């Protein structure tokens, strides 16, 4: 059984460095919490256990805004 939690806006966390999505916290029964990208399981996710937003942030430092990037490239 699985459930997920949206991270409150007051929590300082980076967006996914691949797609720019805000991460979610997923509870996996008997294993623990994983902080992951809601878009794709192949994007970064933390190891199951305690909620580790710090680990997520370390691995997603180059946070991009995908919409803005698309606008920039559309000028070329």
- Residues of the shown chain interacting with Zn ion in the complex, contacts defined by CB under 5 A: 16, 18-19, 21, 37, 39, 43
Instruction: List the beta bridge partners of residue 20.
Output: none
CB of 20 to Zn ion, least distance (A): 7
CB of 35 to Zn ion, least distance (A): 12
CB of 31 to Zn ion, least distance (A): 21
Instruction: List the beta bridge partners of residue 2.
Output: 28
Which is closer to Zn ion, CB of 20 or CB of 30?
20
Residue 43 CB contacts under 8 Å (≥ 6 apart), including other chains? 16, 18, 19, 21, 36, 37
């Amino acid at each position: 059984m699985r459930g997920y939690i949206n991270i409150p806006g007051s929590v300082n966390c980076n967006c996914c460095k691949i797609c720019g999505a805000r991460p979610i916290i997923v509870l996996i029964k008997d294993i623990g919490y994983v902080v992951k990208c809601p878009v794709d399981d192949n994007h970064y996710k933390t190891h199951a256990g305690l909620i580790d937003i710090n680990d997520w942030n370390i691995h997603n430092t180059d946070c991009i805004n995908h919409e803005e990037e698309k606008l920039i490239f559309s000028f070329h």
